[in-house]
Structure 1
């Protein structure tokens, strides 16, 4: 069965939204009356946040009017994707987002990422298997884990954490050079006479 997208977070109805906007106006009005550096920082934070969300809305409008796949634009744009995740509105299910994050981590790690594989999610924790790849000197396990962890938590902030499990160890192969073949005694071949005896 295909994984279904997570349900969108409940929105605000019109009366609740109007109440929030009214409260916001009150808070901003109070902030204007507060002197000092702390108030200046708070006002700057509000202005910066407004600019960021304005940029996000502009990109969303461009996507809606460009004729492109809106879902693809929303989830492909880094800013919009971040805001969707922040508000629990990302349309892609967690499994899809984690697989995409693993692919991004592999791309960053190069040969060191060849052995990175998502096992699954257990109790809100993403489990990742690290197996020895073809480039043992390309990066330490700690460096690999840091990259993978950052990508997974950025793609799915609802995760409680990331756990790394070691790959199952396989029995070592026997080198061909250690395999010795038994050479038959030429005297025992058909037609050959053993020492002190007659031919068979």
Structure 2
């Protein structure tokens, strides 16, 4: 099989797929890489500096490769790239994502709403300004569940748009008080001559 051709048989495709990582494996490897980079950053000396420079260089080269893929992709493929969790993250990391931060935040809010609804909570995007996403979060239950909902929303939005500097909760507007209709109607003036 030539290198520039698709795998021709089901066996060939299965062999290629066997070398792929599941999302859980990717997450585990990313977490491990973060740990290793933190350890390298904590070590002083030329070896640590060289290791960090090598990581930066690889990141730049892979970022350029991803930029070229995105440039060659049409709208349909670009949509598929942004729909993949890992590729979405890499496009954001390399500042190649085709959607602006406001749209990514709005999409993330819509995506997390279904999950929150199952827990009796909701989130509404108020806006994004100066790198801060403002949200209105409503949650039923005790304060600890409300803070867990807020943290889940914060993590979701920062994953979709890591260039945000903060996610802040905006207080919900108080529900209007009930005013009886009779209090809103003008009162009749006493009839002339009545005492």
TM-score (norm 2): 0.51
How many residues are matched? 136
CA contact (8 A) 1:106 1:113 kept: no
Per the alignment, in what secondary structure is the counterpart of residue 116 of structure 1?
strand
Q: Alpha carbon RMSD of aligned pairs, Å? A: 3.8
Q: Which has the higher helix share?
A: 2
Aligned to 1:145: 150
Given the superposition, is the C-alpha separation of residues 97 and 113 from structure 1 closer, same or farther in structure 2, using an over 3 Å criterion? farther
Higher relative contact order (CA 8 A, sep 6+): 1
> Would you say the 8 A contact 2:67–2:96 is kept in 1?
no
Between the aligned partners of 1:63 and 1:89, the Cα distance in structure 2 is 8
Secondary structure of the structure 2 residue equivalent to 1:159: coil
SS, match of residue 143 in structure 1: helix
Instruction: Give the corresponding residue for 1:101.
Output: 108
Q: Does 1:166 align with 2:140?
A: no
Distance 1:87 1:61 in 2: 12
Gapped runs of 5+ residues in structure 1?
Answer: 1-40, 175-200
Q: Is the 8 A contact 2:105 2:160 kept in 1?
A: yes
Large movers: runs of 4+ above 4 Å: 55-68
Cα separation, partners in 2 of 1:113 and 1:149, compared to 1, 3 Å? farther
TM-score (norm 1): 0.50
Alpha carbons 1:56, 1:79 under 8 Å: kept: no
Structure 2: unaligned runs, 5 residues or longer: 1-47, 180-195
1:73 to 76, 80, 98: 80
Does the 8 Å contact 2:121/2:149 carry over to 1? no
